[in-house]
Structure 1
Amino acid sequence: MAIVTVSAAVSHVGKIRSNNQDSGFAGQTLFAVADGMGGHAGGDVASALALKRLIEIDGEYSSAVDAEFALQEAIVAANAVLTETVYDHPELTGMGTTLSALVRVGHSVALAHIGDSRVYRLREDVLTQITVDHTFVQRLVDSGRITAEEAKTHPRRSVLMRVLGDVDAAPEVDLQVMDTRPGDRWMLCSDGLSGVVEHDEIEEILKSSITPQDAADGLLKVSLDHGAPDNVTVVVVDVHQSFETPEAAPVTVGSAAQPIAFEQTVGRRTSRIPGLRLHPRSPASSEPSHFEPESDDYLDELIEEDRRRGRRRKATWLVGALIVLGIIAGVLYAGYQWTQTRFYVGEANGYVAIYQGVQQGIGPVQLSHVFQQTDVETDALPPYTRRQVETTISADSVTAALEIVKRLSDAAATGVDQNVDRPSTPTPTPTQAPAPAPEPTP
């Protein structure tokens, strides 16, 4: 029986981006994903050009080492195509693309990788990430500066340290040969999937899907369910052992499946040899998706910048916390000042007293204190009046509180209960009848 592959490829623009800068390919022995960068200035062009050049090596190889060499040559050639294209079309300056590809040869696969697209392998229901991202945050993780969890939300998580494009004439590509066996399921994807869907969720979908097409569709759906802020491209490859070789037409998805169109430029530069462009992107680009290093010291500069950002972030949090605490303190002080405009009459050490503040407290802090203690004993008050004092009697002002105390003093002297929490009502004076008019004298 022969070792055969069954594959599927899908690509989607996502829910936020306006155009699809990803490209994917599932062929006879070659499977690849490219994620373009450069915004509207040429991310789609970069991934399409690179993948179209790579597709030319799809075919049979005598050994995995030969396939690995073919991958390397094709990637170098693709990089040259991108550089020449930028030279002929200056409006595309700064465009680039990631690229992850594998070629199956018998029981082996040759892998090539640059950027942050990924290659995974599902073997015996265990999903393993095969490639390592060429990103700034991955460098920080590898050096122990941050954790893998912190890398997921790091503000520089999209900074690429290696890509294909007009930024490097000889890009460093990771190449390796690995074994494969019947039952293996390989998955290649852009960061539109791996950046939003957790590893365990990807593993579960790959394990539960029967066919590569089901798996690819399921991964695309879950990415869209998570909001799909970036383009999403997925290629799933199953390795089988069979007496028959399935015949399936190669599938190209994403920008590589569309005709490549260039904007018209003012003039074409042909007077000198094209040179390297070290700037991260065209000024016309408005999508801050990816960057490339401008020099050998770029990583150190980014690390130092990250440290400065961390210090600024801590200082910002500290200032913000102080401002919030200041506002809270101001509100509390204003509230306390208001409470000190209120008064009530109550009992203190067996005597009637006037309190300033309100009867409530905040934890152990009381919001009132004795303003004036009188010489009226609470035991001398009639029962009902004494209960009123014990439960406190509110007053709008000091004057009102003094009036209440006067009525309490009267109640203590007479022994007669009074409803002292209400202002006293003066007794109306009887109106005298007018004197009769004198009778007229005859």
Structure 2
Amino acid sequence: MASIKASAAVSHVGRIRANNQDSGYSGRRLFLVADGMGGHAGGDVASAIVTQRVAEADADYQSAPEAAAALEGALISANRRLAETVAGHSELTGMGTTASAMLLHEDRMVIAHIGDSRIYLLRSGELSQISIDHTFVQRLVDAGRITAEEAMVHPRRSVLMRVLGDVEASPEIDSMVLDTRPGDRWLICSDGLSGVVSFDELQEQLAADAGAKQVADRLVKASLDGGAPDNVTVVIVDIGDPPAPATPPLVVGSAAAPLAFGAPAEPMRARAIRLPAFRPHPVQETHFEPDSEDFFDEILEEDARRRRRRRWVWGFWIFALIAAIVVVVVLGYQWTQTRFYVGESNGRVAIFQGIQQDIGPISMNELYRETAVDVSELRPYDQQRVEKTITAGSLTDATKIVSRLEESLE
């Protein structure tokens, strides 16, 4: 039977947000991260309510299916509590939260997930993402329209297709039961971590020979070092022997404080004072959109229009650049044709139009006139000058140079 060797939960407001709308829970067998929707009123309230309700499911069960039903039922019940809370507090209308939860039963890990917080498993040094993001960009990735790398910077990356809140009475929750074994390290995190720290760095940090709390702190620091534009919450669970001693459940983030809502919103001026001057990249507010084909098709069409505009703009600037290069080349070539120099052609002194240098395979000069003066008959000094070419400002100057060379033979 698998047991919890160690666990840890850490939450940080980040570098940009004014308040922490994440919540985390590390209990006896149950672990959870909930990320309140920052673009709606009461994201912190939503994540706290869900965390408090789901924590009630931290108990022993007869079987893994029973544990899975209890965990999913707790999330559905939490969703009803959110709707009831909004009914009594209209200022919280539209609040919502993600929820990613795990419950250990013997050697099975029961998982329930909705939204874009993530669950990862590190096994034998290899990291796997267990949960699937319920986001618009994930649907694009699944459809093969964009890559995972493009999804990280997509303008619609903040659009959630499924959440807990007052928007759906019966939200669809992903549930699964997976085997777990000693040596496994599980991670639950909000997108404040996964959206900033790369997959490779997550794997490196999780595979480090360090305790759960130390790794959790390192991951939060990695997000802060990357700018931390959103709240960051990390829950680490290590499976193995010996089991962790019994400790009180740990609650972090907004759920760690008493629920308080209905008070006037914090003045914008006071909020502005709390924002740091350092802002590495713009913060996009997470928001929910209905998981419907109409919305999906609408956004796809919008993306198609954006791509067409982008191609047109790039085409315009590329054309303008090419035109500018052509103009410069033409004007430059015309200028070279106003220049002359004296050199050697077939052993005789000759006048060339253009400049001595060539640009790659393009010749920047041509023979203008070949004289009857043999270079070999010139004085040694004049021979060297002609062989190296003598620059002339104009055809008149070049003609005068040739005349002086002819006079030197008399």
Give the TM-score band, short-chain normalised. Answer: 0.7 to 0.9
2:308 corresponds, among 306, 311, 316, to 311
Task: Give deviations 1:82-129, integer Å, cap 9, x for gaps.
Answer: 334444444444332111001222222321100111112223333222
Query: Offset of 1:193 from its aligned partner?
Result: 1.9
CA distance in 2 between partners of 1:41 and 1:27 (Å): 28
Is residue 2:196 matched to residue 1:188?
no
Q: Is the 8 A contact 2:61 2:67 kept in 1?
A: yes
> The residue matched to 2:358 in structure 1 has which SS?
strand
One-letter amino acid matched to 2:120: Y
Are the equivalent residues in 1 in contact too, given 2:9–2:251 (CA < 8 A)?
yes
SS at match of 2:109: strand
Q: C-alpha separation between the residues in 2 aligned to 1:373 and 1:263?
A: 97
Amino acid at match of 1:314: R
Whole-Å Cα distance in 2 between the matches of residues 26 and 305 of structure 1? 41
Task: Write out aligned runs for 1:103-142 (5 A).
Answer: 103-142=103-142
Residues 146-174 of structure 1, C-alpha deviations (whole Å, 9 max, x = no match): 33344334333332211112332221111
Deviation at 1:27, TM superposition (A): 1.4
Partner of 2:407: 410
Specify the code of the residue in structure 2 equivalent to 1:105: H
Work out the CA distance in 2 between the residues paired with 1:337 and 1:13.
64
The match for 2:344 among 340, 347, 350 is: 347
Q: Contact between 1:8 and 1:212, CA under 8 Å: does it hold in 2? A: yes
Residues 1:336 and 1:262: Cα distance change in structure 2 (over 3 Å)? farther
Contact 2:350 2:367 in 1 (8 A): yes
Give yes or no for the alignment of 1:298 onto 2:295: yes
1:7-45 per-position Cα deviation (integer Å, ceiling 9, x unaligned): 100112233434332211111222100112233743333
Contact 1:293 1:299 (8 Å CA) reproduced: no
The answer to whether residue 261 in structure 2 is matched with residue 262 in structure 1 is: yes
In structure 2, the residue matched to 1:398 is 395
What is the alpha-carbon distance in structure 2 between the residues aligned to residue 388 and residue 177 of structure 1? 89
Aligned pairs for 1:83-94 within 5 A = 83-94=83-94
Q: Structure 1 residues 401 and 250 mapped into 2: Cα distance closer, same or farther (>3 Å)?
A: same
The 2-side partners of 1:394 and 1:240 are apart by 85
Aligned partners of 2:244 and 2:15: how far apart in 1?
38
Stretches of structure 1 that go unaligned for 5 or more consecutive residues are 267-285, 415-442
Distance verdict in 2 for CA 1:383–1:246, change over 3 Å? same
**What residue identity is the alignment partner of 2:60?**
E
Q: Deviations over 1:337-379 (max 9, x none)?
A: 3323332222233333332321111101111223344443434
Q: Do the aligned residues in 1 keep the contact of 2:161 with 2:291 (CA within 8 Å)?
A: no
Report the number of matched residues: 393
Q: Which residue of 2 aligns with 1:336?
A: 333
Provide the secondary structure at the position in 2 that maps to 1:47: helix
Shift of 1:226: 3.3
Task: Quote the Cα distance in structure 1 between the aligned partners of 2:184 and 2:366.
Answer: 79
Which position in structure 2 is the counterpart of 1:66? 66
State whether residues 34 and 51 of structure 1, in contact with CA within 8 Å, keep that contact through their aligned partners in structure 2: yes
> Which of 359, 368, 373 is residue 371 of structure 1 equivalent to?
368
The amino acid of 2:136's aligned partner reads: F
Q: For residues 234 and 195 of structure 1, what CA distance do their matches in structure 2 show?
A: 13
1:200 partner SS: helix
**Structure 1 segments of 4 or more deviating over 6 A?**
none
User: Please, which moves more after superposition, 25-34 or 14-23?
Assistant: 14-23
- How big is the shift at 1:239? 2.4
TM-score, length-scaled by structure 1: 0.80
In the alignment, the residues of structure 1 paired with residue 334 and residue 93 of structure 2 have an alpha-carbon distance, to the nearest angstrom, of: 65
Provide the C-alpha distance between the structure 2 equivalents of 1:293 and 1:18, rounded to a whole number of angstroms.
24
Distance 1:185 1:312 in 2: 46
> CA separation in 1, counterparts of 2:64 and 2:229?
36
Inter-CA distance 223–295: structure 2 relative to 1 (3 Å threshold) = closer
Structure 1 vs Structure 2 CA RMSD: 2.7
Q: Which residue of 2 aligns with 1:289?
A: 285
Structure 2 SS opposite 1:360:
coil
Give the share of equivalent positions with the same residue, in percent: 56
Task: Give, as a single letter, the amino acid of the residue that structure 2 aligns with 1:257.
Answer: A
CA contact (8 A) 1:2 1:245 kept: no
Structure 1 counterpart of 2:337, one-letter code = Q
Cα deviation for residue 408 of structure 1 reads 1.5
The residue number in structure 1 matching 2:319 is 322
Runs of at least 5 residues in structure 2 that lack an aligned partner in the other structure: 266-281
TM-score by length of 2: 0.85
CA contact (8 A) 2:162 2:290 kept: no
Task: Say whether the 8 Å CA contact 2:341–2:353 is kept in structure 1.
Answer: yes
